[in-house]
Amino acid sequence: MMVFLNGRLVPQAQATVSIFDRSFLYGDGLFETLRVVRGRPFRGGEHWERLQRGCRFLKIRLPVSHTELAEGIDDLVQLNQMSEAILRVTVSRGVGVRGYSPEAAVSPTLVMTLHPLPEAWTSARTGQPVQWKLQTSSQVLPSGAPLAHFKTANKLPQILARAEAAAAGADEALMRNSEGFVIEGSAANLFWIGRDTVYTAPTDSGILPGITRAVILALCRELGLTIREQLIPPAALTGAQGVFLTLSSLGVVEAVALDGRGLARSPLTQRLAQAYEELLTKH
C-alpha cells in the first residue's frame, strides 16, 4: 500500500511520523474520512472546506493546496488500484518542543491513506441499509462546544463510548450532551422519524455537522419530506417510527435496537438509503 506523506508517495512500511509529533503526544490535529467512488472523492469539496475551517480554528497551517491534495488523491487511487475505497486525510500541527504551547511547531504533517470499503457496504450498495444495534453511552459531550464542529485527532469520549457499545454487544454508541439529550453516535449523525417527519439534533447541541448528514437533509428536501432540528431525550427515541444514522463510509445505517430493545422501522429509512445510493452512482 502506498501512502501520501507530506507531499511524497511512499510505501506503507516507510510512512513514519516522529514520536514527537503533536498529534501523537496531544491529539493536536484534524482528520477527514471520505468515500472514494469510481476513483473520485464523494463530496470532496465539502470535506476540504471543513478541513480548512478546522485548521483556521486550531491555527494550523495547511501544508498543501486543494489542487495539490486532489492530485495526491488521484495518485493514491491509481498506484493502489483502489477506485472504491475509504480515504483518510490527517493533518497534525507537527513536531514542537515539549509542553502544550504550539508556538514552536511550524511544520505541519499531512498524511493520506486509502482503505478497503467495509464488508457491510455490499448490502448498502443495493439500497438495503446496513442494520446496527445501538447502546446509550455514559460518555457526555459538551453542548455548544466549538471543537465539536471539526474532526479533531482527540476522540477519547467516542473511543470509550464505542468500547461500551462493543461490551454490550452493540454496533454503535449513542452519545448524550451535557443537557442530557441524545445527539449523535460515536462516529455517525443521528436521525429519527415521527409522523412522516425526519428529525435530527441541531448543530449547536454538540454534534459534528457531518457531510453525509448535510446530503441526507438535502435529499429530504428533494423528496418533499418535512425536516426538523430538535433535541430528544434518550427514552423518547424508543417511541420513534424509525431511527437511522449517517456516516461517510456507509451512508445510511438503520438502527434496529437500542439498549437491547427493538426499534420500529420506517420505510422512509430505506427510501433515503436508496436515494443516497442513487446519488453515489451519479457521482
Q: For 101-114, how does the pLDDT look when each residue is reduced to its tens digit (9 = 90+)?
A: 999 999 999 999 99
Place of cell 493514491: 76
Distance of alpha carbon 269 from alpha carbon 177, whole angstroms: 25
In this structure, the answer to whether residues 135 and 264 fall within a common structural domain is yes
CATH number of the structural domain spanning residue 147 = 3.20.10.10
In this structure, the answer to whether residues 172 and 35 fall within a common structural domain is no
Distance of alpha carbon 18 from alpha carbon 14, whole angstroms: 12
- Domain edge (last residue) among 93, 117, 141: 117
Distance of alpha carbon 156 from alpha carbon 144, whole angstroms: 18
Total domains, the chain: 2
Secondary structure element (H or E) that encloses residue 66, with its range = helix 66-80
Distance of alpha carbon 60 from alpha carbon 28, whole angstroms: 9
pLDDT category at 49 given cuts 50, 70, 90 is very high
Cβ atoms within 10 Å of 20's Cβ, excluding its own: 13
pLDDT category at 126 given cuts 50, 70, 90 is low
Q: Which alpha helices (DSSP H) does 118-192 contain, by range?
A: 121-124, 156-167
Q: pTM value?
A: 0.94
Domain housing 105: 2-117
The pLDDT tens digits of the residues spanning 237-271 come to: 999 999 999 999 999 999 999 999 999 999 999 99
